[in-house]
Amino acid sequence: MDAFLDTLSTRLAFASAQALLLGALVYAVCRSFPSLSASTRSLLWWLLGAQLIVGIVAPTPFGLPWLPAPAPATAQAAVMDVPQVTDAGAAQTTTANAGAISWIAIVLCLWAVGILGQLVVAAVRGARLAGVLRRSLAHDDVRVDTLCAKRARELGLRRSPRLAVSREVDSPQVVGFLRPTILLPLDERLDDDELDMALMHELAHVRRGDLVLGWVPLLARTLFFFHPLVHLATREYAICREAACDALVVSRGRQAARTYGRMLLRLGVTPHPHHALAGASPTFRTLKRRLDMLGQATQASRPVFAFCLVAAIAVVGVTPWRVVAADSATTRPVAFMDAAPAPPPAPAAPAAPMADAVAMPVPPPAPVAPMAPPTPATAYHPGPGHLPDHAFIYFGDDIHVMNGSNVDFQRAEAARAGAGEFVWYRDGAQAWVLKDPAYLKRIEKAFARSAVPAESGRMSAEKMADIDRQQAILNEQMSKLAHRQAELAVKETMPMRPDDRAAYAAGHAAIGKEQAELAKKMAELGQLRAMNGKSQAEWGRQQAAASRKAADEVNAIVAEAIRDRAATAVR
């Protein structure tokens, strides 16, 4: 559960940060190219909602090695509990904080409550809209039905939406996810030409798929309700979406932009019913922007440029990425390790008294025995443990796997002769060389997948190293307090000391208070260490499973290569 919360919080944070960059990029593009059509602008703002959703559901972000390489660290961090500081008041403080809920869990609980509240409100509004649809009446004017069917065919719709009238709506609006319905007001406020343009506007929503695509920004706003940029992007998308439908009506219809603008003014400002798309504007600011954007409706557009621009921003902005250290993209040797579960962490040393608190050393992890590489089907027989008569060496662009003697390595280097990716396998006296790109690509992917949990484990080890640094600082502060307490006790026992018991008692109380605060901080570090230890154990289990799976895949790939004579036998 702790690993899930940590993963969820990390994805929320990185998706929110990436949304800031994408939002700035979309805003700059819209300002730099004022001739962009409203349809293109709406799609650009829609991409921001899609990026946020992809950022949560994507399993592994794409790493960008832009950070400087970190200092060399130990291969694996030990998982152990923080040594507790025993004191009359510190022990109670540690016990009281042992069951405290981490701040990450609290924030995520509040986030979940916010989402649940929005879902409840959405359910209530959806029920109200469903009631409006149930109480609506079928449209009985054949002339309007014929006009709607004709305009639908002109827009390329295979089926005309259903027409209905309701006294609960003030302007034409379209609603319905699977079966769109156009609701018209019961009282006829529009003349024939205005009704024609209003129907075209609602049919444009259906033609563009706004009833389906509109759920993506709404879902992003529900999940990231705390992000101000999401509300801005949702509002801009809605305005540009309406302007795109306005432009489609003006370009396909027989009326001028001025006539269509007068119809918008006549519809006025009407709050949109939720889950429906209305022709009227929800605010005066939206109405003003729609009227301003009508002037660009008849301008010549550049569809090729708009398509390339949207595609480039989609690839750059929507793809989940994360800035990582430079060494994550460099060649790294990988030892093909045994997939057995990691040994349990060494027990922590007994707690030291308050007066002698010192930093406790972290024992190194137990070594993991290497596993011999798998052997292909009829040419060799894979088995557990290290087989001295077998050797397996793989040279890749990013990963090197080596298992064998120095002689094996020298023979593999000689057979490689400076080539790119390369596999050298020996079974007894017989050896094979594999250079087929198809097989090498499959082997590389198998090893790369097995290294993914190791990257996460390395991040967890860095967290543990940071906790160790904080623990060392607290231990040093505790040692200084113990030294001050000892000096005060020596002064109190001196024969020539001032006879002021209250002053000595106040000094001891002040030092005890500082010691209690340090003990509280050390207890919190203990909780963080325990949570990180659980995460490391989970990553260890995932790494073991990934190693076993990679071994099985390499078994099958090498066996298939030898069986199909894609591997060349050498001596």
Print the domain residue range for 559: 333-570
pLDDT score at 374: 43
DSSP characters over 446-493: HHHHHHHHHHHHHHHHHHHHHHHHHHHHHHHHHHHHHHHHHHHHHHHH
What does the DSSP 8-state code read for residue 271?
Answer: P
Whether 49 contacts 216, CB under 8 Å: yes
Least confident of 97-106, 200-209, 544-553: 97-106
Across 289-311, average pLDDT:
79
Domain match, 283 and 354 both:
no
Domain match, 151 and 210 both:
yes
**149: in domain:** yes
24 or 271, greater pLDDT: 24
Least confident of 59-63, 135-139, 245-249: 59-63
CA pair distance 449, 444, nearest whole angstrom: 9
Nearest to 422 by CA among 387, 392, 452: 392
Looking at the structure of the chain, the number of domains it has is 2
CA pair distance 436, 543, nearest whole angstrom: 28
Q: Which of 59-73, 469-483, 529-543 is predicted most confidently? A: 469-483
Using the structure block, give the residue that is written with the tokens 């289990």. 541
Domain match, 293 and 359 both:
no
**251: in domain:** yes
Percent of the chain with pLDDT over 90: 21
Domain match, 378 and 235 both:
no
Does the pLDDT at position 355 exceed 90?
A: no
**88: in domain:** no
Domain match, 307 and 344 both:
no
At 218, is the pLDDT very low, low, confident or very high (cuts 50, 70, 90)?
very high
Using the structure block, give the residue that is written with the tokens 């298992």. 403
Domain match, 387 and 458 both:
yes
Q: Which of 318, 343, 362 is where one domain is finished? A: 318
| Length reported for the chain | 571
Domain match, 275 and 357 both:
no
44 or 259, greater pLDDT: 44
Could you give the 3-state DSSP secondary structure of residue 335? coil
Across 126-147, average pLDDT:
89
Q: Which of 318, 351, 377 is where one domain is finished? A: 318
pLDDT score at 363: 45
pLDDT score at 67: 66
Q: Which of 40-49, 260-269, 512-521 is predicted most confidently? A: 40-49
pLDDT tens digit sequence for 377-434:
333 333 333 434 777 887 776 666 777 777 777 787 777 766 667 787 887 778 888 8
**189: in domain:** yes
Least confident of 75-84, 341-350, 395-404, 459-468: 75-84
Domain match, 231 and 366 both:
no
**414: in domain:** yes
pLDDT score at 207: 92
Domain match, 429 and 560 both:
yes
Does the pLDDT at position 230 exceed 70?
A: yes
267 or 333, greater pLDDT: 267
Does the pLDDT at position 499 exceed 50?
A: yes
**162: in domain:** yes
Kindly give the interhelix angle for 501-563 and 437-493, rounded to the nearest 10 degrees. Answer: 170
Least confident of 81-95, 120-134, 486-500: 81-95
At 367, is the pLDDT very low, low, confident or very high (cuts 50, 70, 90)?
very low
What does the DSSP 8-state code read for residue 318?
Answer: I
**28: in domain:** no
Domain match, 122 and 207 both:
yes
Whether 295 contacts 34, CB under 8 Å: no
Tally of CB atoms within 10 A around 511: 16
203 or 394, greater pLDDT: 203
**66: in domain:** no
CA pair distance 210, 212, nearest whole angstrom: 5
pLDDT score at 495: 65
Q: Which of 263, 290, 318 is where one domain is finished? A: 318
Tally of CB atoms within 10 A around 65: 14
Nearest to 457 by CA among 393, 547, 549: 547
Mark residue 549 as left, alpha or beta (left: phi above 0; alpha: psi -120 to 50; beta: remaining): alpha
Domain match, 138 and 223 both:
yes
Domain match, 363 and 281 both:
no
Does the pLDDT at position 310 exceed 80?
A: yes
CA pair distance 163, 151, nearest whole angstrom: 13
Q: Which of 331-340, 395-404, 519-528, 546-555 is predicted most confidently? A: 519-528
pLDDT tens digit sequence for 167-189:
888 888 899 878 899 999 887 77
pLDDT tens digit sequence for 429-475:
788 888 787 787 888 888 777 776 666 666 677 777 888 888 888 88
pLDDT score at 58: 79
The pLDDT mean for the chain works out to: 76
At 324, is the pLDDT very low, low, confident or very high (cuts 50, 70, 90)?
low
